[in-house]
């Protein structure tokens, strides 16, 4: 899996591509833990290039959103493909995340 990191408007952005699963989640978890420890803990995870997530990936994102919200920040998602969206809906985790179609929208929403 590929990870690309950048920031915009005080928002830390993690763009992922490939398979987000048990084997690859460790690197993502580490990045999110570090990013969520700094205030403002505002993170966007861009999943546009991710065509597969498993339960470990979901757990990684759930832990991330919990950590961010403890510091009055948030972890938001964008570019969620249909196959990935289905897994979020099946586990009813979709209601815990703000999801945007575009990364720019997700970043902009933090300003509101």
Partner 1 sequence: METLKVRGTLNEIDPVIDYAVSAAYQAGLNEQGLNRVRLAVDEIATNIVVHGYDEAGRSGDLSISAEYDEDQLTIYLEDTGEEYDPRNTPPPDLTTTLEKRPLGGLGVYLALWAVDQFYYEHKQDRNRSILIVQKPCDHPPCLDT
Contacts with partner 1 by CB under 8 A lie at 21-23, 52, 54-56, 58-59, 62-63, 65-66, 69, 83, 86-87, 90-93, 96
DSSP class of residue 40? S
Q: Give min distance, CB of 1 to partner 1, in A.
A: 11
Q: Give min distance, CB of 22 to partner 1, in A.
A: 5
d(CA 39, CA 30): 17
Locate 11 and state its tokens: 């928002």
| 65 closest CA partner among 86, 26, 94 | 94
Measured from the CB atom, the residue of 8 and 62 that comes closer to partner 1 is: 62
């Amino acid at each position: 899996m590929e990870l690309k990191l950048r920031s915009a408007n005080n928002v830390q952005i993690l763009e992922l591509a490939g398979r987000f699963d048990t084997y690859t989640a460790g690197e993502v978890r580490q990045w999110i833990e570090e990013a969520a420890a700094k205030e403002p803990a505002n993170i966007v995870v861009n999943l546009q290039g991710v065509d597969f997530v498993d339960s470990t990936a979901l757990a990684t994102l759930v832990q991330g959103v919990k950590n961010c919200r403890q510091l009055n920040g948030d972890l938001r998602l964008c570019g969620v493909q249909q196959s990935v969206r289905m897994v979020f809906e099946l586990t009813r985790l979709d209601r815990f995340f703000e999801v945007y179609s575009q990364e720019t929208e997700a970043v902009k929403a933090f300003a509101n």
